[in-house]
Structure 1
Amino acid sequence: MKWSEKPVYVCCGHTDMRKSINGLMMLVQDSFSLDPFSEALFVFCNRKRDRIKILEWDGDGFWLYFKRLERGHFRWPAKGDSVTMLLNTMELSYIIEGAKLREKA
């Protein structure tokens, strides 16, 4: 996937993947205190870490990208002190491609 350089907000821990666009928008607003209509990507992962969803506002509507792994799982940050982790689009590509994610110091 190719996105222009946008901030990427990763939801640490797991998210209920039954949530669709409206549910994920509410999570972004209420839990992250961020604007889902901003120029950013919001990324969520399920408990088994074999599925991710990416929410993106493109100016006149939302995109909801979904990826399910048939084998293996994504390396995903646990919910710790922070609810979200800020990445860039290159780091998001590493997650999608299976590279190990490490929190920046």
Structure 2
Amino acid sequence: MIPLPSGLKIWLAAGATDMRLGMPGLALRVQQFLGRDPYAGDVFVFRGRRGDLVKLIWHDGIGRGFLTLEAILGHFVEFS
């Protein structure tokens, strides 16, 4: 289990994201569309078009974290 620091901000990217993107592509989207620094320590959450995949990126000050979650039954809720 990864301990999360207090005061951690979680940003949800509205709309669908191309799930073929990896860490560099999602970090670029954070900069371009959200206007945030992907290496500032916040968590950024992206949802795929079909709703069955969610990707999270997080930089903890030492290294980057990249997590992909897949919904086995159903879909993740749409962010809008």
Instruction: Report the TM-score, using the length of structure 1 for normalisation.
Output: 0.69
Encode CA deviations 1:55-91: one digit per residue, 9 max, x unaligned: 000112211011001110111223xxxxxxxxxxxxx
Residue among 52, 67, 70 paired with 2:69: 67
Bigger RCO (CA 8 Å, 6+ sep): 1
TM superposition outliers: structure 1 runs of 4+ over 4 Å: none
Structure 2, unpaired ranges of 5+: none
Counterpart of 1:77, as a letter, is F
Structure 1, unpaired ranges of 5+: 79-105
Counterpart of 1:9, as a letter, is W
Query: 1:3, 1:72 → 2: CA distance?
Result: 28
Answering whether residue 19 of structure 2 is matched by residue 21 of structure 1, we say no
**Number of matched pairs:** 78
**Could you say which residue in structure 2 is the equivalent of 1:3?**
4
